[in-house]
Amino acid sequence: MNLRALRRAPRYHNIRAFVIVHDLLALVVAWLAARWVAAAAFEVAWPSLLRSGAEIALLLGLQALIYWRVGLYRGLWRFASLPDLGNLVRASLLGAVAAAAVLLTMDVAVRELAPMLWLYPTLLLLALGLPRLVFRTIKDMRTEVRWRRASQRTLILGAGRSARLLLPELRRRGGFEVVGFLDDSSRLRNTEIDGVPVIGGIDRLPRVVREAAIDLAVIAIPSATNTQMQRIVERCEQAGVEFKTLPTLKELGASITRFEDLKPVAIDDLLGRDPVSLDWNAIRSGLAGKRVLVTGGGGSIGAELCRQIARLDPAGLVVLDSSEYNLYRIDYRLRKEFRDLVVDTVLGDVCDPATVERMVSRHKPQVIFHAAAYKHLPMLQNQVREAFRNNVIGTVRMADAAQRHGVSTFVLISTDKAVNPCNVMGATKRVAELYCQSCNRESSTRFITVRFGNVLNSTGSVVPLFNEQIRAGGPVTVTHPEISRYFMTIAEAGQLIMQAAVLGEGGEVFVLDMGEPVRISYLAEQLIRLAGKEPGRDIEIVYTGLRPGEKLFEELFHEHEAYAKTGHEKILLARNAHTGVSGLADLVKRGERAVREYDSEAIRDVLMALVPELERVPPRERKVIPLG
């Protein structure tokens, strides 16, 4: 149904025309009844037929204007309630003013004027209100009967294309009575979609849920931003109604809206940002027909990179991971979804020189995405040997092999915790950044670093932990009331990493624009509400204090780094980075010997020499560097 057809909405306008005619007739009846009572009870003489007609004609004009001004026709009789009663009272009281104006125009005596000023508005209120009350009562009785037949009274939030496609799907399945649509577009107000009215804006949701006994609200706005979704979910929570949503436009793709697409609102819907616009032509030209290797390909980011790359028709995809289970999962998924893909999965360790040499020399990748890393900050704080071995030595092994075998592009996946690190994990990732930048100056391989913050629902992230605590009945543990982090979705991170890979010429540190930081306490509150519980009442939030090596705020740039825009609005370039570290290669070799000897103190000394800011500033004093 096109917009012009929606605007016509003949059934709705016919109903409204009937209501207007009814109210004007009610005016005539109330006026004549008031005249009759005044004549019978107060011995006021009846006016002549001509004068009565003039009175009624003048009154119709004035009262019609009053009806319109008080908003008597903005609501529907089926949802008549106390606010509508207030409109009727105002219309009736202002009717007394209209009656006075009419009678004074006719030069009536005060004895004739006085009783009409209270008789007319009283009778008018009864004539307007009683039919509405009767209609609402009958409608509620019918609604109760239908509700008892187990049909869910459903409200669709949004009245765009997806909502219109969802409506016949809900009807076809049965068990759903779609009561109406709510949409903020003023063009759709007071219209109907396939016989279902657009009742008003989203902010009316709590009232409509209460008055129309709504059981389910379906959010059918795939293009909604996270701010819009937060507002809609807040209204659903205020209304106390069950709510579900359609996937985002990116998730839906070109598929037709189906009931099976409905899903509970997830934290990604609230914190995931606006859809990312990518230069797919550039990405495809940079990766299509190429042999690509992804290390750590079974992890959250690595697996997403594998899925995204597989869509671009590479000549071959090699996936390396040290976790047998993670490797099995990504192997199964890739072979199931991409039957024509040439894929090799290798179970191995990036720190093992034989594995790395064999893999790179045999498969001869042209592009390497190095995502293999340990990232659990509190655990690595006391596991300095394993952190240095995996995050530093593993990167050194892969980077050296890439140079030896003429790999065209090497992309290091880094983290915002590498900026002014006050923990072991961040320091090891900073060393990995420095080593790759050093390699870029000495080889033909393009070494590119991509730095970003936390990824929603990634393995080991805070979201799965909070969900587990909520399922257990709480409490949800947050380290500090003011602690905040940058977040993005797994899909967005994967896509922007590929975009950065084709943007870079070598030596760059690209920083993904993470938007505004999110307070972890807000994240916890939203997850509790999405689970159908109330923070502080059903699930407690307990603050446990900052852990060793943990900052209140994360940073995306070093103090000596400026940032510049690139050809993509979501990717920034760190400029003037101080990347030269005296004796970098020798210090890395010292660290490697300390790893073999299991000398944790020597490894810490190496980290301090390579990353002197590690203990320069206490963690609690670190401040975020704004992007604006």
> Tell me, what's the pLDDT at 26?
82
CA nearest to 483, candidates 553, 415, 555:
553
226 and 161 inside one domain? yes
| pLDDT at residue 370 is higher than 80 | yes
Q: Which of 83-97, 144-158, 224-238, 411-425 has the highest mean pLDDT?
A: 411-425
Q: The domain spanning residue 353 has which CATH number?
A: 3.40.50.720
Q: What is the DSSP letter of 188?
A: G
166 and 63 inside one domain? no
136 and 123 inside one domain? yes
42 and 127 inside one domain? yes
Rounded average pLDDT over 349-361: 94
> Tell me, what's the pLDDT at 257?
42
More confident position, 536 or 356: 356
Q: Last residue of a domain, which of 145, 168, 192?
A: 145
Q: Last residue of a domain, which of 124, 145, 166?
A: 145
139 and 170 inside one domain? no
pLDDT in tens, 147-172: 444 567 888 888 888 788 888 877 77
Cβ–Cβ < 8 Å for 229, 134: no
Task: Give the DSSP per-residue string, 52-113.
Answer: HHHHHHHHHHHHHHHHHHTTTTSS-GGG--HHHHHHHHHHHHHHHHHHHHHHHHTT--HHHH
> Tell me, what's the pLDDT at 272?
54
383 and 447 inside one domain? yes
What domain range is 213 assigned to? 150-265
451 and 311 inside one domain? yes
- 21 belongs to a structural domain: yes
For the ranges 72-81, 158-167, 564-573, 595-604, the lowest mean pLDDT is seen at 72-81
404 and 427 inside one domain? yes
Q: How confident is the model at residue 564 (pLDDT cuts 50, 70, 90)?
A: low
Rounded average pLDDT over 582-591: 89
How remote is the C-alpha of 322 from its chain's centroid?
34
> Tell me, what's the pLDDT at 72?
67
| pLDDT at residue 292 is higher than 90 | yes
pLDDT in tens, 199-217: 888 888 888 888 888 888 8
pLDDT in tens, 487-516: 777 887 888 888 888 888 888 888 877 667
365 and 497 inside one domain? yes
242 and 298 inside one domain? no
Q: What is the Cα–Cα distance from 201 to 183, expressed in whole angstroms?
A: 5
- 438 belongs to a structural domain: yes
Q: How confident is the model at residue 413 (pLDDT cuts 50, 70, 90)?
A: very high
> Tell me, what's the pLDDT at 141?
63
More confident position, 357 or 14: 357
Cβ–Cβ < 8 Å for 60, 24: yes
pLDDT in tens, 108-119: 766 677 787 788
222 and 199 inside one domain? yes
For the ranges 25-39, 418-432, 586-600, the lowest mean pLDDT is seen at 25-39
Burial class (CB in 10 A: 0-12, 13-18, 19+), 254: exposed
> Tell me, what's the pLDDT at 563?
60
In the beta sheet, which residues pair with residue 318? 293, 344
Q: Indicate the number of domains in the chain.
A: 3
Rounded average pLDDT over 286-302: 92
118 and 183 inside one domain? no
Q: What is the Cα–Cα distance from 204 to 217, expressed in whole angstroms?
A: 12
Q: Last residue of a domain, which of 96, 120, 145?
A: 145
Cβ–Cβ < 8 Å for 405, 364: yes
**What does the mean pLDDT of the chain come to?**
79
